[in-house]
Amino acid sequence: MDGEIDLELYTISMIRLNSIFQKIEDNNIATDIIPDIENCFNDLSQLYDNISNDLSQEEININEYDPFFENGMVMFPEYVRNIDETIEKTEDKNLKLALTNLSDIFVKLIKKGNDYFEKRGAFK
């Protein structure tokens, strides 16, 4: 992405994430929630791949990545915690699996953020 984070993709995935939590809170059936989780996962996976590609380049646009990861290092662990709490309360095995995959992509983003700040010499 030429060193720029796809903020539109990130925004869409966060809107989807909020919708997922709302549907779970409203006790929607799993078959209504799982496609949203899969779409959110796919968006975040694409974002992760784009970020990984950008960060493998010789030059990195720190004006894009510093604020993204500063925010992410605060928010991503909260998302993981909320998703993991939901997994514990959920009985549907397919919903648990979809949520686990979603949690895992946030863990990967956290690791990528830690690696980013470590390489920049500004470990957060």
Is 19:43 a contact under the CB 8 Å cutoff? no
Look at residue 1 and tell me whether its pLDDT is greater than 70: no
Domain boundaries, the chain: 7-120
Closest CA to 44 of 70, 77, 86, 10: 10
**Which tokens go with 77?**
């662990």
pLDDT tens by residue, 46-60: 999 999 999 998 888
Look at residue 104 and tell me whether its pLDDT is greater than 90: yes
Is 73:113 a contact under the CB 8 Å cutoff? yes
pLDDT tens by residue, 15-57: 999 999 999 999 999 999 999 999 999 999 999 999 999 999 8
Q: What is the pLDDT of residue 70?
A: 94
Look at residue 82 and tell me whether its pLDDT is greater than 70: yes
Length of the chain: 124
Which three-class secondary structure state does DSSP give residue 9?
A: helix
